[in-house]
């Protein structure tokens, strides 16, 4: 591995885009079917995720944030990127059991998350080593504006940042095709 090489200077962006996450796509993780990237990001999903394999779950608020931290190992310069995203799901009137069953499914194994950001981009997290639901909090709320629902925190440990797994236009079409229907 060579020394650090930064090829150009960079100006401050005029507008960094709207922050936050509006939805997550949840798909089963399979270590034998990993997403691959090119210089422009993920160019195809169809070989891994075909029709009706991704559940799209809308989130309650706009303050959901996927936080990733990279750590370089001093001995061999390996890199580990650890991420956490707390997903807030509200419970609609009369859907207590249905929502509870959905949330229990998220605890059953590793998944791949497709994080739909408010700026219109979608990135894959956990596509290489899987993501796991590590905590789930159920709350009824005590006031009118309080959350009546679940907060599910997913944890990832990947070799790269999720921004490397940005879905390109062709992959976005594959993603739309793979989303399970709303019921």
Number of domain units in the chain: 1
pLDDT for position 2: 55
Tokens coding 155 = 């944890």
Asked whether residue 106 is domain-assigned, the answer is: yes
Is 9 part of any domain?
Answer: no
Domain membership flag for residue 4: no
Under-50 pLDDT residues of the chain: 1
Residue 169 three-state SS: helix
| Alpha-carbon gap, residue 98 to 104, rounded angstroms | 10
In a domain, 46, yes or no: yes
- So what's the pLDDT on residue 16? 65
In a domain, 137, yes or no: yes
Instruction: Specify if 130 maps to a domain.
Output: yes
Detail the DSSP E strand segments found in the chain.
21-28, 55-58, 67-72, 79-90, 111-117, 122-125, 131-139, 149-158
The whole-model pTM stands at 0.87
Looking at the domain assignment, is residue 3 inside a domain?
no
Residue 106's pLDDT is 93
| Residues spanned by the domain of 36 | 21-178
In a domain, 119, yes or no: yes
The pLDDT value given to residue 1? 47
Burial class (CB within 10 angstroms; exposed 0-12, middle 13-18, buried 19+) of 40: exposed
């Amino acid at each position: 591995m060579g020394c650090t090489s930064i090829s150009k200077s960079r100006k401050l962006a005029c507008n960094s885009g709207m922050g936050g996450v509006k939805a997550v796509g949840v798909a089963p993780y399979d270590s034998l079917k990993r997403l691959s990237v090119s210089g422009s990001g993920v160019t195809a999903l169809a070989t891994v995720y075909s029709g009706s394999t991704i559940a799209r779950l809308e989130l309650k608020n706009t303050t959901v944030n996927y936080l990733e931290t990279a750590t370089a190992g001093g001995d061999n310069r390996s890199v580990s990127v650890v991420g956490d995203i707390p997903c807030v799901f509200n419970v609609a009137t009369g859907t207590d059991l249905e929502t509870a069953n959905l949330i229990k499914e998220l605890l059953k194994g590793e998944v791949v998350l497709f994080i739909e950001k408010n700026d219109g981009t979608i990135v894959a997290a956990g596509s290489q080593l899987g993501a796991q639901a590590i905590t789930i909090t159920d709350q009824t709320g005590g006031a009118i504006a309080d959350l009546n629902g679940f907060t599910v925190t997913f944890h990832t440990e990947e070799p790269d940042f999720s921004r490397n797994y940005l879905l390109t236009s062709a992959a976005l079409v594959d993603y739309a095709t793979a989303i399970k229907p709303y019921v």
